[in-house]
Each structure stands twice: as structure tokens, then as C-alpha cells.
Structure 1
Amino acid sequence: MKSILVAAAVALVVSILFTPYLIRIFSKQGFGQEIREEVQKSHSAKRGTPTMGGMAILVAMWAGYLVTHLTVSDGLPSVTALLVLGLTTVLGVVGFLDDFIKIRKRRNLGLNKTAKLVGQLLASVIFAILALQFADRNGITPASEHLSFIRDITVVSFGTVGFIVFAYIAISGWSNAVNFTDGMDGLAGGTAAMVLASYVLISFWQFRYSCGLEQNIGPACYQVRDPLDVAVVAASAMAACVGFLWWNAAPAKIFMGDTGSLAIGGLLAGLSMTTRTELLMIVVGGLFVVEALSVVLQIVVFRTSRRRLFRMAPFHHHFELAGWAETTVIIRFWILAAISCLFGIGLFYADWLSLAGGNGL
């Protein structure tokens, strides 16, 4: 528990103190956000607000994790944690390039679809291949070839190639989902903090009842590798998002940009695979899922009927164009995100209770 608290405290302090430094630097360099033409009327005042603030989240996340291992954590950084951190960082670099091109070319479109696809593909393939290696003394690898809900669904096995394909779909899907949600001040950052807080609880609970501990036997224990270190990563990222939110909340002084949204999406995908909760993440991160689905549905309906299902997609802009104040949309969406997180945690705990029953765990 001490390592989780230290990681969160360090990441929070670094994020709060480093973000205003980025604001000053980016403002001097003219690294301002371009605004979509469709929302310029209501968001025109935001043009020129510094972007690429996701750098603060990444730096704070790494700082929280590394300081923890240098001070209170026993042993070296785990393979599982480094894989998740590496995936997050690589996607953050892809997002940074996307943001930088937008800034230099003064447009709302950065990397072309092919370049972004290649970046996500390389990150996903490398992560998936390595995550199936490095078995511990109990034979548990960082990720599993089986699809998982709260635990592995053993009857659904992808195989190595299938898992690589699945990892790409999950990583690109979550990256884009967070990216779609990042359209209002603090919406994506606040939601991400709640989802990551949920995974601090989930990972720590898995650590307490890991099958790798001798006292834990029976069907209720968790077949996961390095759950405590994964909890440290989640805590660092959660606190980094909270610290960034201090400056990103309405009216935002800085935006996370694709640097932050793609990185956070990759982090969520990595956490879901290393904790064997890929389908549960859909529940916990329900708001991100709804935002992504709103974009898909808008495209499908428009292409088939030439009519718009929503006033504008992603979904949060629909309510803004309906007359809701931006802060009203943000707070109500945060409430929905919190409900999704609580429901997901409830499902996780209910599964443990049903299996722990009379096993004394």
C-alpha cells in the first residue's frame, strides 16, 4: 500500500508543478490548439490555448513510478509494468507527432490516417508479442491468449496471432475512444482519473489474492503477473491526470492533445490485458465507449440515410448544441463515468465473492 501512496503523491506533485511550466513554454512558442470548424462558434475563444499537455501526464506518471522503486518498493521494476508504461509512452509519442503537425501547419488535422495507423500498429504488435513472453516462476505471463472478462474465459482462446490482432483492435480502439472524448475542458482527464482509480483498486485486490501467494488457493485467486506493480502504474497515472486536471478544468489553461489522449487510451488497453479484465474495461470505461459509439453510429447513419443521428458527434457536442452549458455537460458526463466505474468495481467484487464463498480467502 505504501508504494501506491508514494507513487500517487509524487505523480500528483510533479503533474501540478510541471504543467504550468509547459503552459509558459508552449505559450511562448505559439503551440496553440486549432479548433474544429463545426464548433468554432462556441469554442472560438479556446483557439490558441496551449496543447500537448499530455507530456505532463507522461512525465508525472514515469516520475511517480520510478521514485517509488527508488525509495519504498522492493525489487526492480517488473516486466508487466514496463510493458504498460512503454505502450503508453510510444502512443504518447505518436500523439505528440500528431499535435506537432497540427500546430506547425495551423490546421485541425495532424498525422494522416496511414501514419497514425502504422504507429498504433507497431506499438500494438510489439506490446502483444512481448506480453506473451516473460513467464514468472508460476508460468504466468503479463498477458494471456484468452479473452477475459474479470478472469480469463478459457473457452475463448485467440492463439498467438489472434492475440496480436486482438491487441491491436483493443489498443487502437481505446486510444481513439479517449481521443473522441477529449473535446471539452477536463472531460477526458477527469474520466480517465476515475477509470484509473478503479484499476488501482482492482490491481491491488488482485495482488492481495494473487495465486502467486502461497496462502491463496482455490478458484477465487487471480492468475495475473505483477499485480502490485501494475497498481503502482495505475496510481501514478491516476494522480498525474488529477494534477493535470487542476490546469485543464474549465476554463482550461492547457489541453492534453493527442499526446495525452492516445497515451491514456493505450494505458487503459494495457491495463485491461495485464489484469485479465478486457471486457470489464468496457463497463468501467463506459463513457469512453459511448463517445466512440456515437461517432461510429453518426457515420453509419449518415452514409446510409444522409441524415444525422446526433446534432454532432462525439456525443458531448450533441448536448452542447442542444443548449447545455459546457460545464453542465462535463459534470453530468463525469457523473455517468463515476456510475460506470462503480458498476464495474461491483461486478469485479461480486465475482470474487461468488468464488471465494467457502474457501476462506
Structure 2
Amino acid sequence: MNQRVTVLLPTFNRAGLIGETLDSLLGQTRLPDEIIVIDDGSEDATPEVLAGYGERITVLRKQNAGKAAALNDGLARARGDLIWINDDDDLILPETCARLAGALEADPGLDFCAGRHEDFEVNPKTGGRDHRAPGYWRPSQPDEIFPDLLEGCHIFQPGLMVRRAVYDRVGPFRTDLTRSQDYEMILRIARHHRGRVLPELAFLHREHKGARGSAGERFAAQQNADRWKVFNHRIFSALLADLDDAELFDPVQWQGTAPEARPRLAAIKRGCVMARQRMWIEALPTWRDAVLRDTGPFSPAEIALLHRSTTSPLGAPELFDDPAVRLALRDLSRCGPRGQQILRVLQRSTRWQLRRALQRREWLQSARIMRFLIPFS
């Protein structure tokens, strides 16, 4: 049975980009039943651009209060059975609505459905699009979605369709988060609901140098990673404290691990999640305690987790620059062979960053990384 699809599109000062996004939504092979644009107090020509779309869209104009509040207002107004949230600067591929809605209609037990994305930016010389793979992507099977999300956000809202009943159950977007509110929401959804990740490309994620944030908290594009770090720390400090060890893994991996090996594997995974969120000062003591309790050889799964710890799209500058992290690394290296092995794995997995810094002639960054690669004593 066909279900109604509501698009929610929050926007703030995107007059130069939102038209392309709306055109891509209105060019879907299956048109959404309603498109609600929540104009969060734009001060540029955004209202005039939106007016040009007439009755094809519904515009809610409100005083600026941030993206989370705008989405909560949109959810209160939405009439659809399926909610599809979009960003105001991305491009949606024509078959996306049909694919996402079709998967949910075909399987009543499916709570959400997601598709892949590619990053792109407009080439200033040619005006064409330069495409590249996303910084983090996993072709997650249903039981892997939440464990994979813990290591990074690979499900973005323009590629995600969710049953309205799910949003009703999990509650509103958190207005205390002015960044990462969409990441926190998909974590909340995926933890307790059944989803599916489709192999098809759903949208193109635009990279650009425009300002981000609400009217009272604007910041430049190059500050993105630092902003994400702040709010992801808040999200993951609470989330990891609430998670049982089994929730960190898909059931097949967890059940396939010997019971006596599970505590250390879980501690290694917790440290990996922390490190990938740039919470190194929390990750290193977690690993230290784990190897002091269990000094046996690491499994391939544990080595893989340690290796992935330095490969976050957010980077790992604390490894090279933070004196407190360096002291924790030295402490870890003195915890016997397993502590020293962790350090060696981390050092091996950061060599690519040194190669990249040298290629870019970033001499100061190269020196910082080389200092980290020198054996600790």
C-alpha cells in the first residue's frame, strides 16, 4: 500500500543553493506528497527564492532557533506516514524517493531505510562537479547498522527515510545540540529499530566553504571537525556509559566470540569508538585497563579495531599535539607487551597521515606526526 511521504527541509540563509535542492526533490520519479520548508529566520533572499515555488511547497517561517528546533516544528506539521529530512544544499538523485519509500512499503517490519551518498564540490575553474567517496562508509547489514554508526556517521538525512511512528517513539531532536543533532537522532533510531541500507546512490553531499550554524552561532567550514568533536563528545560520553557490551557488535560477531574474550574485545571497541570521536584522553586509559586485566595475544578483530581508531574523518590531531594524550600514550607503552603492541599499531596506522602531510608540504604537521612515530620511552 502506498504511503504518504513528507519532506522536511530546514534552511537558513541558503538563497544561493536551496533552489538546486528543491529542483532535485521536485524532479523525483515519485514525487513526495508534501514538501515542508522550515525557514529558520533567513536574513538573505531565501524567502524570495521559496516564494518562486508557489504551491508546490509549504513554507513555515519562524524566528531563528537552530536546525533541531526547526525540524521539531516540521515534524509537528507533517502529515506523511514516511518522513524524509533533507539538507538545503545537497542534490537528491531522481529515483531516491521511489526506492526508499518502496522498500518501506514492501516490508511493514522495516522502520527505516537508507541509501548511499557521494561527496562533491563545484570546481571553481570549470564549474563542473568534482566527486569523491565519502570519508566514512559501511555497507551495513541490518544487524550491523548501529555498531557501524558508533564508529562514524555513514547514514545522512537526505538518504534516510523513517516511519513517522518511529519519530513519535524516540522523541524530538535535541535542541541542546547545535551540531551533530542528526547523528544523535540516527543513533537513537538505529539502536532499537530495524533498518536497511540500500546499495544504490541516493544523493550527492555538497562540500562548500559557506558558513554553518544558526544565526547566533555561525562558524566557518574549516571549523567543522572541531565543532563535531565538541558535540560528539557530549553524545558519546552518555551513550557509551549506557550501552551493554553486546550492543557494540552485531550478534554474529558477539556470539562467535568466546565468553572469556568478550570483556577485552568490548573494551577495545569502546576505545576505538572514543578515539574515532577524538576522545583520545578517554580511549587510552580504557585500553590500558583492558590489557592490564587480560595480557593474552590480541585477536585479528581487536587489531582491526585498534587500526581503525586513527582513521576517523575527524582526524586525530590530539595524538600529535595534546601533551596529556602523549603522557597517556607513554603510560600505555609501559603496560607490558600488549600496551606496547597497541602503540605500534597506532603508529603504523598513522603513517599515511605523514605521507599526506609531506606531499602537501605541511612541514609543521609532518614534524608533529614524526614525533609521534618515534618510539616512546
TM-score by length of 2: 0.24
Q: Which of the two has greater strand per residue?
A: 2
- Higher relative contact order (Cα pairs below 8 Å, separated by 6+ residues): 1
Larger radius of gyration: 2
